[in-house]
Structure formats: C-alpha cells, structure tokens
Amino acid sequence: MKFLPSFHIRFLSALFAAITLNPRAMPAVPNETAKVLKKYCYDCHDREVQKGSLNLEALVGVRVDENGDAWEKVIRKVNSRQMPPIGKPRPNEKTYHEVIGELATALDIIAAKNPNPGRTETFRRLNRTEYQNAIRDLLGVEIDATALLPKDEASHGFDNVTVGMLSPTLLGRYITAAQKISQLAIGAPRNKPGGDTYRIPADVTQESHVEGLPLGTRGGKLIRHTFPVDGDYDFQIRLARDRNEEIEGLNGTYNLELILDQDCIQSFTVAPPVVPNDYESVDGKLKIRAPVKAGFHEVGVTFVQSSAALLERKRQPYSVAFNMHRHPRLSPAIYEVSITGPYNSTGSGDTLSRRRIFVAKPSRASEEEPCAEKILSSLMRRAFCRPVTKEDMDLPMSYFRKARAQDGFEAGIETALSSILVSPHFLFHIEQDPDGVSPKTAYRLPDLQLASRLSFFIWSSIPDDELLDLASRSELSKPKTLAKQVKRMLADPRARSLATNFADQWLYLRNLNSLSPDARLFPDFDDNLRQAFRQETILFFESILEGDQSVLRLLKSDYTFLNDRLAKHYGITGIQGSHFRKVALKPDSKRGGLLRHGSILSVTSYATRTSPVIRGHWILGNLLGSPPPPPPADVPALKERTISSTLSGRERLAQHRANPACASCHNLMDPVGFSLENFDALGRWRDLEDGKPVDASGGFPDGSQLTGVDALEQTLLKRPDLFVGTFAEKLLTFALGRGIESYDGPAIRKIVNQTEADDFRFSSLIIAVVNSVPFKMRNSL
C-alpha cells in the first residue's frame, strides 16, 4: 500500500466528525467526506494519485479496521504535518491532535484485541559484529571479524536484517574462521609460524601523540594482538614511502620505540641511509625477536617526540601532514607492523580462553571422555543459547574422538570446538514455532528465545549464564525479572554495542569510512579528523546511555566530547592532548547535539559542498520517521554543468524544484536542510560563503519557517513524539532484525506514551521496547 496523498482541511474536519461518533466501532468515512477528499486530493501534486494507483473513495468507504495499513500511513502523514500540503489551508493544532488521537485510539483498540507482532525469520545468521562479540564472550578471544568474513549488506538501515542466506562461499569462510579461532583459543602447537600485518592508512598524520601510547611520543599505532602460545615472536616495522619509494620525512636522526604492554622492549635509531637511496637498509634494521607470553597484549610502535619536531609542527598552517605534494610529512611515519611467530614455543600458557574452555582436565586416559563431554556441553550451552541435548553432543564428540586418537586430548577439543563454531545452532538465530501453536496465531516467545533476542539487542552477543539460567527456569519473562535484567544488561560494558553498533548504523557513522572530501577545497582533512568525528558522536551517544538521560538530549546538549584535533577543527580553544574528554559548552557555542556534529554534517554532504537535500532527507528519515519516497525514474538529477556556476546552492535547487515531479518531495527536504547551511561540508561553522552571508533560512514539513540550527532544534523539541517515535522504530528494527510495518504502529505509540512520564529516559525506552508486542511475541506460520 502506497502512502496516501496530502489532503485539505475540510477532509480532516469531516474525518474528525466521523470518528468521534463512535471511535470503537469506526464506521466508514461518510460520502460527503469522500467527495471532499476526491475534490482536493486529485488537485494536489502527489504523483501516486496522479497515476491513479490509489482508490481514495474505496478507502474512506470502508471501516477503519478493514484497512488499518492505509490508516496507519494516514496517521504518519498527518502527524508529521505533511497533510495538507504546504501552501494549502491547514487546521489548528488542536484539531490535528484530536483527529490523530481519535484515529490512533481506534487502531490501538483493534490492535489490543487482535495483536499482530509480525514474524521474524526462522533462521537469521549472525552478522560480523555479532559473530565477533559472540566469540569474545564465548571463548575470551578478541578477533577482527572484518579480516575473516565479508561485509554484511544492510537493509532498513541495519546489517542484521537481510542475513538469512549462507552461500557455499560464505560457509567456506566460516569454516576457515572457526579453525583459526579454535587453534588460537586452545593455544595448540603450530607446524609453522603464522603472522599478522597491521597497516596504518596512508592519510593518517603522524606528527602528534596517539591516544594509548606513552606521553612524549608521536605517531605510530597501538595494536591489540592475541599471541597463541608462549614463545618468541618477530616484530618487523616498515616506514612510509612516497611515490618515489623514498622514506618520507627522513631529515635527521629519530628514536623509534617498540612497546609491549606499556614497557619499551626495544629502541631503534632511524637515520638516513649511508648509501644514498638505500632505504631498504633503514627498514631492515627495524626488526627484533622477543619472548612473549600467550594471550592478549598491547603492542605499540611510536617515535619519541623531539623539541625540534614540536617547533616545526607549530609553524604549520594545517594539521595534516601526509601528502607528498601539498602537505609533506615533517618526519618519518610508520607504514606497517608485522608480528610473526611463534618460534621456540614453550607451551600453551595460561590464557583467558583456556580457562574458559578447560573447565575440566583429565588426569588419566579414562577421564578424557567425561571431561570432554563436560567441556563441550558447557561451551555448547552458551553457544547455542539453550540447554544441550544428547543429539547435540553426538557430532562434536565424534570429532573429538577421531582427533584425540591421532593427536591427543587437546587436539580433540580443538576439532570439536571448530565443529561447534560452524554449527547452524551457533551461526544462526533460530526461532521456531513451539509445538501445539495453531497456524497464523500470535504467541509469546519461549523464555530461551526471549533471552537470545534480549542479549543480541542490548549486547549484540550471546546471553550470559544469568540470562540462560533464568530462561531455563521460565522466569525471565516475568515483568519484574525482565525489567531487572534489562537494567543489569544496560549497566554492563557490553551495552556499549548500542553505541558502536546500533548508533553507528542509525546515524550513518559507518559512511565516514568512505568520506573523501576534495583535497583542494578541504586541505586540512585526514584520517585523524575522520576518526575524531566518529569518536565524538559515539562518546556522546554513550553518555546519554550510561547516564540514563532523556534521549531528547541527543537533539540539544550543552556538552560534547573533544580532543585537540577536533577542537581545533571546530575553533574551540583550551583543549590539549589526543585523549577525548567531556567539554562543557558555552551558551553561544555552535556545538552540542547531533545536528552540530561533524560526523553527521560531513556524511550528509558532497565532496565539494554541502547538500541541503541529503541533510534534509537524513533528518526526515532518521529523526522524524517520514522520509520522502524515492524519486521517479524519469526525473533527471541536478546537472551541475548545465546550471550557472554563479548561482548559489539555494538558487540551483530552486531550479530543480521548478520541475513539478520534483517539487512535492524537495519542498519537504530542502527547507529542513537549508537550516544547517551555516555548517560547511566538514561541519565547520561559517557566516560567509563565497564572500556572501550564509542564508540559513528554512522550514519544517508543517509549513513553519525557521532560520538556523537553533530554530531547527527548538522545532524538533516542540514535537518530541516525532523524534522519540522514530528512535523507537529504529530500536525495534534493530532489536527484531526486520523492517517496521504498519501493524507495528500501535506498539510504537505505546512505547512513546509509556516513556513520556519518565521524560523519555534511555532505560525506559529500552524496557518499553522489550515489553512491546513485536519483541515478546511472534506470529506462527
């Protein structure tokens, strides 16, 4: 069902009159109203109506409960004030509220009598983030899933939605990953040394301190690496080259340090080669072999900062120094670090993963099989998110017996563990209809499935023992118990995934990876700034989550998080150091809520300029929940070369809106985006553009006029239900792994209504989502 078109004030009045007669019965809309609707809707610019794809008379001529999908879309359009269209007479706010309230009440009553939770897929594969977190929580092993598995495609804004398929190629990647992870977790002896190489992106400026490395150093990288066994490991460092294969910035003698867990294990002297252009001899000396205990360690490679370098840095007009032609490096930089080993292994060591796996150890051969059963059943219970059956044990135990006969007890456990990690019960969320449930019936999720939904929602990982224990006793679904568990989980560090996974996708922060502004127009951009953009927004979102603040603080805030690089970009003084810290903002500050973050402003811009269209579309879709439909296939894009370059961006878009097919959507998007024009394509504040004052006058879908980001924030805060409802939709999409449908409307409204009394606090919203019909229930086939 497509969106309904905009309609006139008389239809709203007639609709209100009709539904107030008997909101429970919801009679058909009267014939007089149908005439008004036909008269005024077919005179608007909605292309769906013009194409005749929607029979409006048929819609208003039936009971609301017979066409709930369409009426939910009416509510969305009216609630966002996109009905009637801008320029047409409109009712007052009281009439708007009464009409929406009565129609929503009728639909909510119908939903309460006949709940429709929708249906999630029976099999939904773990995405890369979930897989990485599950390995961490199951085995205590930190892995980089991006190096092991391909990227997941996103749908409805998140990459945990369309992940049902497992192609033969992808299965092969999972098998390889399982073997590598099992070997790493067990700490099994290796036939030959292995290795990993960590490379620093080419556009990273390495002239200042890197957070996590010792003070008084500059550049380099802090590497988090898991060493499989006790033994000797080779560390090889390679320096960055320019296009001529010469080491960049090698203008003197420099001290380079290799650090293991904050202790310097080797200091190197880097100097120009004795033989001109023999730069390989410089790298060849940057290698050592050192003993390392098995387990997780932090490896740092960095240069000692010199006073001369500090002085040179202060002379630079820009913060970047990585481009050979525009802003060459002032001193040498790290290109990559390789870690190879083990050599001369002395044993598996005492690692977190071994402690988690070997919950039982045999002292004689006769104890090996019982110990293996105890080890594997413990692992499988957590991996499969449920109690383990005898049938579950058969396959892993068969692998154990075969490998044990050849290579011993630990080799048997390693092989069995690999089989667990490629089991469908680990790789997939599995939600099967319980026995005895009638077809096409809404049923409550069993507690074990509820535990899995809950943990992957809040932690993006598997349930812990406490959740599984409660679910096994069918106690988790009890309201007080469930609320207590939600609060416990939100207080756990693993809840940070709501920022790094949910918010990262909701706010388009992942698009920062592909952000590449025109270097001629924005010469002061590098990867340091790119990562600072992301870190500010992640830390800001985390502060709302950890402080259990109102989610409305996301829109308007008197603080943010900065380091020296980002503060300089924003023009904020008094911030020193690479570490991020919470910074209280002055009342007249240009920074604060999400709409003032460089991350949001840059990913909604082009490489050469701002885009009011993209920014307006982002706000309508991500903050207001009312994105315009995709453009028609026959409408051309805005052609830069055919429009005078002397025109401002606003004047160019005005020419684009002259096309009636474009106007209906651009009249909604563009005015909202114009209000952010004081921020350039990298989020810097500007009062002038091309020597002329910036025009930040814009508007809102309700037809109101506003100017600048302050007015936009105030307008959003005047209608908190729009933002909170959209935020709830995004949370529910992420939690369920499916798109939101019209029948979810009553649940969304209930979440908003339930949390309003608590000022829309973060925990209240999460609890309301968890208690909603779509989250706790499911439709049978």
Q: DSSP letters along 710-726, please?
A: HHHHHHHHH-HHHHHHH
Structure tokens belonging to residue 329: 């490096």
Q: What is the mean pLDDT of residues 388-412?
A: 97
Question: If you ran DSSP here, which 8-state letter would residue 290 be given?
Answer: E
* Contact yes or no for 474/447 (Cβ under 8 A): yes
What is the Cα–Cα distance from 764 to 760, expressed in whole angstroms? 7
* Contact yes or no for 349/295 (Cβ under 8 A): yes
Residues β-bridged to residue 304:
217
What is the Cα–Cα distance from 187 to 358, expressed in whole angstroms? 12
Give the closest residue to 359 by CA, choosing from 344, 374, 373: 374
For residue 708, with 0-12 CB atoms within 10 Å meaning exposed, 13-18 middle and 19 or more buried, which class applies?
middle
What is the Cα–Cα distance from 358 to 441, expressed in whole angstroms? 44
Residue 212 has pLDDT above 80, yes or no: yes
For residue 342, cis peptide bond before it (omega within 30 degrees of 0): yes
Q: Three-class SS of residue 25?
A: coil
What is the Cα–Cα distance from 517 to 520, expressed in whole angstroms? 9
Q: What is the mean pLDDT of residues 702-713?
A: 94
- Residue partners of 298: CB distance under 8 A and separation at least 6: 212, 222, 223, 224, 225, 259, 260, 261, 262
Predicted local confidence at residue 36, as pLDDT = 33
For residue 84, cis peptide bond before it (omega within 30 degrees of 0): yes
Of residues 228 and 100, the one with the higher pLDDT is 228
Give the closest residue to 561 by CA, choosing from 549, 546, 588, 579: 579
Dihedral pair phi/psi, residue 378, rounded to 5°: -65, -45
Structure tokens belonging to residue 426: 């680990």
What is the Cα–Cα distance from 342 to 340, expressed in whole angstroms? 7
R_g over Cα of the chain: 30
Predicted local confidence at residue 57, as pLDDT = 58
The one-letter amino acid at 675: S
- pLDDT tens-digit readout, 644-702: 555 666 766 766 666 666 766 777 889 999 999 999 999 999 999 989 999 999 999 88
Give the closest residue to 548 by CA, choosing from 479, 495, 624, 494: 495
Dihedral pair phi/psi, residue 740, rounded to 5°: -80, 135
Structure tokens belonging to residue 498: 């709501």
Using alpha carbons, list the distances in angstroms from residue 162 to 91, 125, 535: 42, 9, 28
Of residues 13 and 745, the one with the higher pLDDT is 745
Residues β-bridged to residue 698:
706
- pLDDT tens-digit readout, 182-197: 999 999 888 889 999 9
Predicted local confidence at residue 324, as pLDDT = 66
| Choice among 267-271, 344-348, 659-663, 768-772 with the minimum mean pLDDT | 659-663
| Choice among 177-181, 437-441, 620-624, 648-652 with the minimum mean pLDDT | 648-652
Predicted local confidence at residue 639, as pLDDT = 59
Residue 445 has pLDDT above 70, yes or no: yes
% of the chain exceeding 70 in pLDDT: 86
What is the Cα–Cα distance from 415 to 395, expressed in whole angstroms? 11
* Contact yes or no for 19/78 (Cβ under 8 A): no
- Residue partners of 20: CB distance under 8 A and separation at least 6: 98, 102
Structure tokens belonging to residue 472: 């096994």
Of residues 323 and 482, the one with the higher pLDDT is 482
Question: E strand or H helix at 697, and its extent?
Answer: strand 697-699
Residue 462 has pLDDT above 90, yes or no: yes
- pLDDT tens-digit readout, 513-548: 999 999 999 999 999 999 999 999 999 999 999 999
Question: E strand or H helix at 302, and its extent?
Answer: strand 295-304
* Contact yes or no for 87/671 (Cβ under 8 A): no
Give the closest residue to 767 by CA, choosing from 479, 461, 456: 479
- Residue partners of 385: CB distance under 8 A and separation at least 6: 448, 451, 452, 455, 462, 463, 468
Q: What is the mean pLDDT of residues 560-571?
A: 97
- pLDDT tens-digit readout, 247-285: 999 999 999 999 999 999 999 999 999 999 999 999 999
End-to-end CA distance of the chain: 22
What is the Cα–Cα distance from 673 to 610, expressed in whole angstroms? 9
% of the chain exceeding 90 in pLDDT: 74
Q: What is the mean pLDDT of the chain?
A: 88
- pLDDT tens-digit readout, 288-340: 999 999 999 999 999 999 865 554 555 456 788 887 667 789 999 999 999 99
- pLDDT tens-digit readout, 124-139: 999 999 999 999 999 9
- Residue partners of 121: CB distance under 8 A and separation at least 6: 164, 431, 737, 738
Residue 559 has pLDDT above 90, yes or no: yes
What is the Cα–Cα distance from 571 to 679, expressed in whole angstroms? 13
* Contact yes or no for 418/178 (Cβ under 8 A): yes
Predicted local confidence at residue 316, as pLDDT = 53
What is the Cα–Cα distance from 109 to 232, expressed in whole angstroms? 69
The band of 68, judged by pLDDT with boundaries at 50, 70 and 90, is confident
* Contact yes or no for 118/743 (Cβ under 8 A): yes
